[in-house]
Structure 1
Amino acid sequence: MARISAAERRIELVEAAVRVIAAEGVEGATTRRIAQEANAPLATLHYCFATKEVLFAAVFEHVGRQYREVLTRNDIHGDVPTTARALLRGVLEWYLANPDFGAATGELISWGKRQEGRQAEMVYNEAFATLRAILEAAAATDVRPVDPAILDELTYIVSVLSDGFALNWLVFANRTAAEPQIELTLGVLDAWMADHLGDASGPAAPAPKAASPEEALRSLVSWVSVER
């Protein structure tokens, strides 16, 4: 049997921790349970990570790095609106394909805010910085100038829309509903960009037909349905 290096074992343990945190929460993610999920001896976990806090710091770093890599992969080097739309779609589809990460991230952010460190803020700040840099690079190559303040707002809007989608997907886990909701979320971004970027947002899409009150109510009920 091939020997597993310490670096590879660390990765396995961090990925196992993500799965356990997603399924059982931070409180349920004991070192024993994580080692069991990774199919590793408990002693190996303590060899790789001196304390549970060190392990969780590695998990924070792993989750943040995954999010930044998703943004980088979906940087199409287009104009600002096209790039922002591609970034948001990439993140939403990633959440859909990786529910464990969404669940674990929510648990970790909540846990991190209760700790003395600022790990939760670091994850967000690094994600904001990556997203902002991509949008800034897109603006630098665009013949139409974009106000830096608008880029800051756009960074925030993309982040908030992705967070809202991730939370809704986590709660309902309804892929049939989530797939068209990706397009709905992108439509919200399109509307904001058309209003704030003006001509830089490209040709406006045809205005959708206004929903009747009955249709709007049915849509709302389908989104917040609660089984009795």
Structure 2
Amino acid sequence: MSNDVDALHWEDFVPRIPVAQRRSEFIKAAVDVIAIHGIEGATTRRIAEQAQANLAMLHYCYDSKEDLFADVYEYVASRFRDVIKDSDPHGNLADTARRILRGVMEFYLESPNFAAATLELISWARRQRGNRGITVYEQAMETVRATLRGASSDHPIEPETIDQLAYVLATLADGFALNWFTYGDRSAATEQMEITTSVLDSWLAVRLGSAPVAP
């Protein structure tokens, strides 16, 4: 009986987890590791430990760290697309723009690891996979533009204005993220959310004649 037990592998006592689920766990673990250690310090061993899995399983799911990072980049971009869609109040263009900006900033505030990992991944994607990095970022921007176009369907806005507004939203949100990532002061970040929103309100008032609204 003892010999039979010895002949079994430890994996035989562990419930089998689908590869897709394992990949999802490794992706989320990689976000945390990248946020703490940066791209260069995000070793497969650290990622496996963060996911509470063995290194062999990670290499079984991914042929290379680059392939894992590509999925991490896609995952982060998809989360932001979800935030943008969830922030759509089905109101007018100005209200929609404010909701998108505030939704993204709140997401950064509540998910500091995403703020840190996103900044790291953007630089990595540009260096390693320039065209693909641009494509994924552009997909997120197109989600913003599509949401803005939908909000302005009753009063069509020039495409150029939609493009400009999408750029303003991205710039303000990214600037907020960088400051939050740098200082990590939640109290200051909360105040800066209001300042950032007021900057958007000023732009909207000039370009769309929209009066700022109370938070």
Q: C-alpha displacement at 1:116, in angstroms?
A: 4.3
- Calculate the aligned-residue CA RMSD, in Å: 1.5
Matched, 1:180 2:165: no
Matches within 5 A, 1:1-228: 2-141=15-154, 144-198=155-209, 201=210, 203=211
Q: C-alpha displacement at 1:117, in angstroms?
A: 4.1
Residues 1-38 of structure 1, C-alpha deviations (whole Å, 9 max, x = no match): 64321111100000001100000001111111111111
**TM-score, normalised on structure 1?**
0.84
Gaps (5+ residues) in structure 2? Answer: 1-13
Q: Is the 8 A contact 1:60 1:119 kept in 2?
A: no
Mapped to 2, the partners of 1:9 and 1:98 lie a distance apart of: 22
Q: Specify the SS of the correspondent of 1:140.
A: coil
**TM-score, normalised on structure 2?**
0.89
Q: Is the 8 A contact 1:22 1:103 kept in 2?
A: yes
Q: Is the 8 A contact 2:202 2:212 kept in 1?
A: no
Q: Compare CA radii of gyration and give the structure with the larger one.
A: 2
Mapped to 2, the partners of 1:122 and 1:33 lie a distance apart of: 29
- Percent of paired sites with the same residue: 50
Mapped to 1, the partners of 2:92 and 2:158 lie a distance apart of: 14
Mapped to 1, the partners of 2:129 and 2:29 lie a distance apart of: 25
Gaps (5+ residues) in structure 1? Answer: 207-228
Q: Which amino acid aligns with 2:204?
A: M
Q: C-alpha displacement at 1:79, in angstroms?
A: 0.5
